[in-house]
Amino acid sequence: MANILCFFVLYTFLCQTLTGAYNSGFSVQLIRHNSPNQKSVIHMHKHGSFYQVPKKSYTPNGPFTRVTSNNGDYLMKLTLGTPPVDVYGLVDTGSDLVWAQCTPCRGCYKQKSPMFEPLRSKTYTPVPCNSEECNSLFGHSCSPKKLCAYSYGYADSSVTKGVLARETITFSSTDEEPVVVGDIVFGCGHSNSGIFNENDMGIIGLGGGPLSLVSQIGSIYGSRRFSQCLVPFHADPLTSGTISFGDASDVSGEGVVTTPLVSEEGESSYLVTLEGISVGDTFMPFNSSEMLAKGNIMIDSGTPATYLPQELYDSLVGELKVQSDMLPIDDDPDLDTQLCYRSETNLKGPTLIAHFQGADVPLMPIQTFIPPKDGVFCFAMAATTDGEYIFGNFAQSNILIGFDLDKKLVSFKPTDCANQ
């Protein structure tokens, strides 16, 4: 989701402890949720200290949490606090902060489930503003109660404001033994606004910065890596996807392709290099008029559509029309200028191939066409002129995608994520 445009972004990295069932990796719950207007790109500045936790050996027990589909953007289940409370946050590889709506919540968006109540948790610990962790943060502020305050904004104008705290997170597992991770830094949001709906209880930042969930968990397992497998937007609502950490996030076997993560100073988003896209056998370059820039597109699970340069988008639409035996819809004002077709089922072709550096990733119609209404399927990509290009979550579905922050690699494996 995610462009951090502002404000007082809090950076810290605290030692974590791990209790309960130890393992070399685990999976957590993802729930699909409809939020089609969240387009944003993250820009962050890295500040603050990095506190390493010694590497340890854990006995694998195959922890895994079931996933439920909710037809839209993806929600991930975290169980927060003591006693544990289920929090469903939007999965966002385009930002770092993990936060939840907390009581008291003034000026907050409506939430269907009860908000997290920090005063009821025995393991909730606010980070004081005079602490080493808070003083090392960029743009922190001090609340009237001398706590470490934050204001964290996104490019879609959504904002969360609250205090930084440490809390225990519990994950489920396949053998029903809990995996408990202590001292995770998160934002307890007391004033939150923007493009949210009643199923959203916060955002789970999975970017590459030190505050992200993957970075904090990575300090425990000795490596910062995770994988995701997202069910398609219009899949059966009972289907499921997963997100895995540690050794459980390994992406291997037949069909795996890998592309480099491109690191830029002060950048924590997942930038890769897209050389072009093919429709069938017809290749169209990312940008024919300029030199190909490394790290020209971001993989963002918090943005539904894929945003491309105008020239590439226009070429794709033109070629799709040529290679389709169906007539585009041109008499529906609700569809604006989108390429759409009337069909009761998804299109049978053509297949697109996203040509990342060293990695050709096939995109089937279920990943590139979505139904905005019954009997209509529209191309799930768009043009943008702001220079911020995004590989969105529609296109990411049914691909097991592994992010290795330490090796700076992204791996792709076509997968039926509903049966992963």
Q: Catalytic residue positions?
A: 92, 300
- Encoded tokens for 391: 């590989």
Stretch (H or E) spanning 318:
helix 310-323
- Tell me if 182 sits within 8 A of 16, measured CB to CB: yes
Let me know if 276 is exposed, middle or buried by CB neighbors in 10 A (0-12, 13-18, 19+): middle
Q: Distance between CA 25 and CA 116 in Å, rounded? A: 27
One-letter amino acid of 331: D
The single residue listed with the structure tokens 């340890």 is 56
Cross-strand bridge partners of residue 128: 147
Token pair listed for 57: 């050996």
Q: How many helices (H) and strands (E) does the chain have?
A: 5, 28
Instruction: Identify the residue whose tokens are 């191309």.
Output: 379
CB 204 within 8 A of CB 76: yes
Q: Give the Cα separation of 135 and 287 in Å (integer).
A: 43
Q: What does 38-82 look like in DSSP terms, one character per residue?
A: ----------S---PPPP------------B--SSEEEEEEEETT
Whole-number CA gyration radius for the chain? 21
Q: Which residues, at least 6 apart from 171, have a Cβ–Cβ distance to it below 8 Å?
A: 26, 27, 28, 63, 65, 78, 79, 178, 179, 180, 181
In this structure, what token pair is assigned to residue 248?
Answer: 């459980």
Query: What is the SS3 assignment for 206?
Result: coil
The DSSP call for residue 102 is B
CA distances for 213 relative to 2, 37, 100, 181, 245, angstroms: 15, 24, 13, 11, 10
CA distance 273 to 30: 27
Question: How far, in Å, are 282, 283, 289, 352, 353 from residue 320 at the CA level?
Answer: 10, 12, 22, 9, 13
**308 sits in which H/E element:** strand 306-308
